Structure 1
């Protein structure tokens, strides 16, 4: 939601009117639109229909355990009628969609409205998925085939697009129908619809060399960058949650630490983290001896098992043993503010694209990488190839990891000589990719494409 709102604000700053459509609880999660932009960014909410088995109030994948996400998609598909009514009322020039709204294209076609699919995932994932025609011609049936780079991507063109075995098995599931009756990849393949004039990625050629012209040729339509949509100044992205007493205490601790001495640890809200993962991660952080700030979010599966929060899963005595050199926050943590703090020197991350964009391209931090699903493995391979991150050693079959391997990766980045080179590479990459002037030019170029393809 955050990149969609960032794009909305940038369009509004250039004089365009945007209707931002979401559901009530999700809309309430967003930071307020700045007052000067509120006349041009209107937030409209549509209520999700009730679906048996979906908890009351669940509107986001962060609200449900992984096994219920497909029910969320079933509910989401029930928004087609209210969305059609909204489109008939507003009659916009463009509809900008996420990958999942396959039902929106017939609505757009009926009203003769151009669509763009805005993918907040890296262009590498679309290259890996490929077109429907290429998948029909080269079907992937075995785990090994999902691990390999697809035949439609020339190996000399870009970083190898490969998955570990445990990652490939999760990716293969996205190609299979779920309880909604439609697979995730079939939803994505609706970008072949004639109403879809543009495919937009939250990315840019400097972040992902060579991929944009390759994808434009592969899909026979413009696949273009929006730029990274980096947040503005750290002080411009504060949220009400920043003022929680737990975080304010952590912020005071962070202010007292030496420059670039703290590793920020956060695995997002969507990685399929288990109780065992949390315990091994804690063991590794403790073994490393490094200062840390850990944003420990409670996965829905952990809460469903009866735990009050993820802090219940920490090893006995962990916080007492690391007192003084580390802080665990189980509430809201303003990630951009933390990454921008002078005391932070590296980022232990699941390699979600948003976190990678903020950590490396936004603030120039080297990464300790612990990818789980979707695009995260591809991103980790790409960041390792560019010399800005180290992956935690994992069991290739089941993805399990040991605390000792977490500690080794953290020390490589934060303590050993190799870390200096990784940090230098990350800062240099930030200088190239995170150039704010060039990033705003991508938005200007996107608006020109909206005008040309309308």
Structure 2
């Protein structure tokens, strides 16, 4: 529990995905900066892959390595979703649930003041409550996404959400009392119907989310009242739990250390040779896996657009034959590590073709770039609907049934956002919204209010 100096001990327990590790790590760093101790728990391989801590925080954040329990069907080297390849994520969830005994022992031995956990450990809140540890669920997705997932934690846990067919999810749910276009397309709905059903891990995603909300003293959301603030109020009303926005947590553009990095030197040289605002940056995060047809149509669409592009693509197998030769000089496919924020902040970049992950969307908009949106997984379609409503970008048109798209739809969307008069309003709205998304003082204020809340709501020792 809190020591005599008033310093708290906070445990962080993220899900096994890099899109979750990084927001949890950024929150850990802010808590540590305020004089508190943080224990960040994950597997050895995942912790070794995390960004290095700033020297001034190295003594305040302790990485706790707990080996991932073995599960039949899960290879030994798989410790995060990025390692799965074509394997079912249910195997990874089952292994994650196997953390329960080791994590329980750690909590018993270390007696922290708070534990901040992700969507998956439905078994954790009762353990922490029994040990008199204050509990918080940190949703790395937006408030609108959590609202869409279900009308209450009771409905998520008991399976009483009135929606059961894919068609039920292509309209906004009845519990949204204001006008909104937040809904899945038909081809996206198959995921959420599956997420509501029991999977091979022994618990559905909706059961997991409902359970972690039910057991939380406070629900944390990467969201702010200045952008779609009505969703925060609605989430609190539906879930009957205090909801605390953490702000958008816009990352800092780090310049130091890159001057001597060979990759960045080569990237910057290419970007320096392009016109101001002329380049579309293309990136889909570490989790999106495209079919050869999807990759091919995207590549041929970029070629057809005539627009300069920088495409960060770690696995380029499946690109159309001769593609890179044909676009040489105008477009580049970068197959190694690429510093996304530094690229997005370069003067030559004027737009962002993205899968619409919440983190990537924040990074693009904080720097004022309109988005060309091609969502693929889980919450990204819902994020795209919200951002299209706000007119800061457009979705590439797709077949509503199977989600396929064509090179022509890619090319037209890229040209509209980057070059055409019709795209001026999107470019202007993106610049306008960057005043909110990039306001570090505003978002640090949210984080500070959360740290104040942590300090004031420590459970008394029994």
Tell me by how many angstroms 1:322 deviates: 0.4
Task: State the TM-score, normalizing by the size of structure 2.
Answer: 0.91
**Residue by residue, what CA displacement relative to the aligned partner does 1:42-87 show, whole Å, maximum 9, x if unpaired?**
1111110122221221111111135421111111111111111111
Q: For residue 275 of structure 1, what is the aligned residue in structure 2?
A: 292
**Residue by residue, what CA displacement relative to the aligned partner does 1:287-336 show, whole Å, maximum 9, x if unpaired?**
00010100113xxxxxxxxxxxx322111111110000111012211111
1:120 to 117, 140, 149: 140
Tell me by how many angstroms 1:340 deviates: 1.1
Tell me by how many angstroms 1:359 deviates: 0.7
Q: For residue 295 of structure 1, what is the aligned residue in structure 2?
A: 312
Q: For residue 305 of structure 1, what is the aligned residue in structure 2?
A: none
**Residue by residue, what CA displacement relative to the aligned partner does 1:145-199 show, whole Å, maximum 9, x if unpaired?**
121211111134xx332111001112211111111011111110113434x1011
Q: For residue 4 of structure 2, what is the aligned residue in structure 1?
A: none
Contact preservation (8 Å) 2:223, 2:246: yes
Counterparts of 1:29-428 in structure 2 under 5 Å?
29-130=49-150, 131-134=152-155, 138-156=161-179, 159-194=180-215, 196-235=216-255, 243=261, 245=262, 248-297=265-314, 310-360=315-365, 362-428=366-432
The SS at the match of 1:321 is helix
- In the alignment, the residues of structure 1 paired with residue 258 and residue 387 of structure 2 have an alpha-carbon distance, to the nearest angstrom, of 29
Matched positions, count: 435
The SS at the match of 2:353 is strand
- 2:28 is the counterpart of 1:8: yes
Contact preservation (8 Å) 1:279, 1:313: yes
User: Structure 2: any 5+ residue segments left out of the alignment?
Assistant: 1-20
Task: State the TM-score, normalizing by the size of structure 1.
Answer: 0.92
Q: For residue 449 of structure 1, what is the aligned residue in structure 2?
A: 453
- Note the aligned Cα RMSD (angstroms): 1.7
- Displacement over 3 Å in runs of 4+: 132-138, 245-248
The SS at the match of 2:116 is strand
Worse-superposed segment, 245-254 or 224-233: 245-254
Tell me by how many angstroms 1:115 deviates: 0.7
- In the alignment, the residues of structure 2 paired with residue 277 and residue 113 of structure 1 have an alpha-carbon distance, to the nearest angstrom, of 47
- In the alignment, the residues of structure 2 paired with residue 373 and residue 271 of structure 1 have an alpha-carbon distance, to the nearest angstrom, of 7
